[in-house]
């Protein structure tokens, strides 16, 4: 019995890791082409989301669940805020704040409202604390860099909203059956934005489609991980995606170049990884 439980935990950690990789990469295509028209990108992303969800539906079903629809609405709002924040402050700065506030919200939901428990709550709190401390550091903001406060506020708002997007399906035990509904909801909300944007640039549309597919791959893996590990453990682990996002921002997009900024990023990365490891033992 213990062996079976251990196997499920290990499997949950694997899916959480896959989710982290997908979510840490999914903004790269739109960042590559430039975030110019938010509505167009959101619309294209929504198409990518539904295109990924359709084949998954043949295995998980095409049920229409109200809780899945609600999750899709929550995510759509969070992603719009995230797109605006990435546009303003970059890929190396927005994701840490999004993840930090998302972790706080998901952890609070799991402990206070979903009756999830740990072997050591103190250790779990220390782990989450390390994650939260590391996230601002890994953002790598430099003193001489003009960073718009609006970007950080939007990133924080995105995390506060997005940290709850899985909650309706988790609380109603519709993680699998609600997947298609959430994807359909995202598509229904995003498609009108695509047409209202009145801007159909091929490379931006394609980048949005790729981003939508990567997001939903991560979402699929995250839902499986949440089902195996619980929201208060699985969601914080998926948010280590910020390490990959920041790496893209620094190494590929050259958003942070000075030595002081790089040192901050390394220190933050160590704190985040330490927190993620501690959380798996809590």
pLDDT band with cut points at 50, 70 and 90 for residue 211: very high
- pLDDT value, residue 42: 95
Give the count of domains, the chain: 1
Residue 251 reports pLDDT greater than 80: yes
**Average pLDDT, integer, range 65-79:** 95
Token pair of 29 as six digits = 């295509």
CB 153 within 8 A of CB 22: no
- pLDDT value, residue 146: 55
Angle between helices 66-89 and 179-197 (to 10 degrees): 50
**Average pLDDT, integer, range 201-223:** 94
**Average pLDDT, integer, range 81-106:** 85
CB 83 within 8 A of CB 41: yes
Nearest to 105 by CA among 97, 247, 60: 97
Higher pLDDT, 230 or 261: 230
Percentage above 70 pLDDT, the chain: 93
pLDDT band with cut points at 50, 70 and 90 for residue 224: very high
- 34-59 pLDDT tens trace: 888 999 999 999 999 999 999 999 98
266 CB-near residues (< 8 Å, 6+ apart): none
Domain span at residue 170 reads: 2-281
- pLDDT value, residue 138: 67
Between 77-86, 132-141, 189-198, 252-261, the lowest mean confidence (pLDDT) is in 132-141
- pLDDT value, residue 137: 78
pLDDT band with cut points at 50, 70 and 90 for residue 144: very low
Residue 258 to residues 28, 80, 190, Cα–Cα distance (Å):
22, 30, 38
């Amino acid at each position: 019995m213990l062996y079976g439980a251990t196997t499920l935990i290990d499997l949950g950690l694997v899916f959480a890791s896959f989710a982290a990789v997908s979510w840490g990469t999914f903004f790269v295509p739109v960042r590559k082409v430039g975030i110019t028209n938010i509505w167009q990108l959101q619309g294209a992303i929504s198409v990518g989301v539904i295109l990924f969800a359709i084949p998954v539906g043949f295995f998980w079903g095409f049920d229409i669940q109200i809780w899945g629809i609600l999750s899709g609405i929550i995510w759509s709002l969070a992603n719009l805020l995230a797109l605006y924040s990435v546009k303003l402050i970059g890929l190396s700065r927005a994701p840490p704040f999004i993840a930090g506030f998302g972790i706080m919200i998901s952890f609070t939901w799991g402990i206070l409202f979903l009756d999830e428990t740990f072997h050591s709550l103190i250790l779990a709190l220390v782990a989450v604390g390390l994650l939260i401390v590391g996230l601002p550091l890994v953002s790598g903001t430099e003193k001489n860099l003009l960073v718009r406060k609006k970007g950080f506020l939007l990133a924080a708002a995105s995390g506060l909203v997005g940290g709850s997007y899985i909650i309706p399906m988790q609380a109603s035990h519709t993680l699998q059956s609600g997947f298609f509904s959430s994807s359909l909801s995202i598509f229904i909300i995003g498609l009108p934005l695509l047409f209202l944007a009145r801007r159909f640039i091929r490379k931006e549309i394609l980048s949005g489609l790729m981003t939508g597919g990567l997001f939903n791959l991560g979402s699929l893996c995250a839902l499986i991980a949440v089902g195996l590990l619980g929201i208060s453990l699985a969601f914080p682990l998926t948010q280590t995606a910020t390490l990959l996002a920041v790496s893209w921002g620094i190494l590929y997009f050259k958003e942070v170049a000075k030595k002081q900024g790089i040192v901050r990023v390394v220190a933050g990365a160590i704190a985040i990884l330490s927190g993620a490891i501690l959380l798996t033992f809590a």
